[in-house]
A and B are shown apart, each in its own frame.
Chain A
């Protein structure tokens, strides 16, 4: 069983609001590993595949997001999620106020 963990600063203007939450959840669902997210290093850890829980986290801009995963594709999962956050959820050409 592989385990992986990483942290990344979220600079998104609005934070982990509706549309980024959906993108993050959709990405997490693509991995077989258990994938979790926390807005603080000490947790609590929430299921990154649960859209309701991710949206309820309401992480604001400049939050350091922590990802951890366990399973066969754990390393790929945390890397992909961190990349999504680093890419600002691919919303740089969209108006963040939309979502």
Chain B
């Protein structure tokens, strides 16, 4: 079995991040590399570049990593986290333009089936278009 694409969930809220990850694990299972982060380092609502980088490392797969975000800062901080990755990893990480919960479940299902990073991303993004 080749590596499955990793999924990273980035929310402003630790509860949303945990809950979304729970849904993925319950619905799709634990065969897909999965990590989540939410909240700022002080425990409030927000996102942290450092925590996002840790989550990317946790879910790392040679097949790549797809990130699902909720609102504005989650996306910009995820972009920063991706930029700070070593060059050889950077090209294997994408941020999906998809609803965080639905996108995470769809992306994980696609990853489970052995899809490539771009297939995983387009499946998550197909949601918004439909």
Which A residues fall within an 8 A CB radius of B? 18-19, 22, 25-26, 29, 49-52, 55-56, 98-99
B110 x A51 contact (CB < 8 A): yes
Q: Give the A-binding residues of B (Cβ under 8 A).
A: 26-28, 105-106, 109-110, 112-114, 123, 126-127, 130
Query: B110 — which chain A residues lie within 8 A by C-beta?
Result: 51
Contacting residues, chain A, for B130 (C-beta < 8 A): 52, 56
Contacts of B114 in A (CB 8 A): 29
Whether the Cβ atoms of A18 and B123 lie closer than 8 Å is no
Q: Which residues of chain A have C-beta atoms less than 8 A from B123's C-beta?
A: 50-52
Is there an interface contact between A26 and B127, defined as CB atoms closer than 8 Å? no
| A22–B113 touching, CB < 8 Å | no
CB distance from A55 to the nearest CB of B (A): 8
Q: Please state if B27 and A49 are interface contacts (CB–CB under 8 Å).
A: no
Cβ–Cβ contact A22 & B105, under 8 A: yes
Q: Given A18-B105, A22-B105, A26-B112, does the pair A52, B126 have CB atoms closer than 8 Å?
A: yes
List B contacts of A51 (CB < 8 A). 105-106, 109-110, 123
Min Cβ gap A73→B in Å is: 15
Chain A: CB-nearest residue to B31: A26
Known: A52-B126, A56-B130, A99-B27. A26 touches B109 (CB 8 A): yes
Which chain B residue shows the least CB distance to A49? B113
Q: Give min CB distance, A77 to chain B, whole Å.
A: 14
A49: B residues at CB distance < 8 A: 113
Task: Select from chain A the residue with minimum beta-carbon distance to B108.
Answer: A22
A91 to B113, CA, bound (A): 21
Minimal Cβ-Cβ distance residue in A for B126: A52
A22 touching B28 by the CB < 8 A rule? yes
Given contacts A26-B112, A26-B113, A29-B113, contact A52 B106 (CB under 8 A): yes
Q: Is the CB of A18 within 8 A of B113?
A: no
What CA separation (Å) do A52 and B26 show in the bound complex? 18
- CA of A56 to CA of B126, assembled, Å: 11
Tell me the bound Cα distance from A56 to B130 in angstroms. Answer: 8
Output the least CB separation between A71 and chain B (Å). 16
Q: Which residues of A contact B126 (CB under 8 A)?
A: 52
